[in-house]
Amino acid sequence: MDREHDAIVLPGSIRQMISGKPYQTDDIGMSKARVMVFDDCVLKIAPYQKKNEETVHVMRWLENKLPVPKVLCYECDAERQYLLMSRIPGKMACDAYYLERPQELAARLAEAIRMLWSIDVSDCPRSRDLDVELKEARVRVENHMVDVDNVEPTTFGPGGFKNPEHLLDWLEHNRPNYEPVLSHGDLCLPNIFIDHGRISGLIDLGDTGTGDKWRDIALCYRSMRLNAEGAFGGRIYPGTRAETLFDAIGIAPDLEKIRYYLLLDELF
């Protein structure tokens, strides 16, 4: 392991904590970060961004509020950030065990959403409201950072938007009413862990902060649908319907807001 790390040169504090430990590389998700999973901890190495420092602040704020990874050590230099955190036990919500049991899966996803909503956000250290989201979206659009090949087939082209600029303009002029809660920001099934029938943790908190309740619902709904349709791994689960999520939460789907936040996510 040490030889593989030599090219990066880990900070001494982190090297001391993981030296000699076996690990596996986690390549699930779309992050450009390098993630190494040990028996009892996880090391995430990412290019330096101020946003990542904000994430560490949020994680520390959430300690003892929600089951999130504990920050064990955080170091950064001009090029990279190194975050060593505790490992969350259990299986991802996208595990075949749960996709084969849609009612149980929906109940656990609803549990995760209600846990987020239960947090008092009056002193939350980060806002992820639409002012922030749309500002970041504009930077991505203007710098041609939107991956138009990694979107829903109907987003751009015939019957959809002409291009990311057209979509951004629509989003800026059709903002829905704001219902603030603690928002995970990327509440997809791989970021939700379940152990012994309960939520054991939420990971990948890079966009967590005060945000609209429907963003998490929208992304969780889409993730459940895509996993059931076999978009990740190829296996289809015909008995799993994403619509059961709304029954489990006990809320009627706001289809307009769901569509809005799914379209917004296409720019990220």
Q: 202 forms bridges with which residues in the sheet? A: 192
Query: How far is Cα 66 from Cα 169, in angstroms, rounded to an integer?
Result: 36
CA neighbor of 107 nearest in space, from 197, 23, 188, 15: 197
State the catalytic residue, choosing from 39, 129, 147, 186.
186
- 129 tagged catalytic: no
User: SS3 helix, strand, coil % of the chain, rounded to 5?
Assistant: 40, 20, 45
Query: How far is Cα 205 from Cα 56, in angstroms, rounded to an integer?
Result: 9
Query: How far is Cα 249 from Cα 196, in angstroms, rounded to an integer?
Result: 20
CA neighbor of 232 nearest in space, from 223, 241, 220: 223
CA neighbor of 221 nearest in space, from 189, 251, 194, 192: 189
Provide φ and ψ at 160, rounded to 5°: -120, -150
Q: What angle do CA 110, 264, 244 make, to 5 degrees?
A: 25
Query: How far is Cα 112 from Cα 200, in angstroms, rounded to an integer?
Result: 9
Residues belonging to the active site: 186
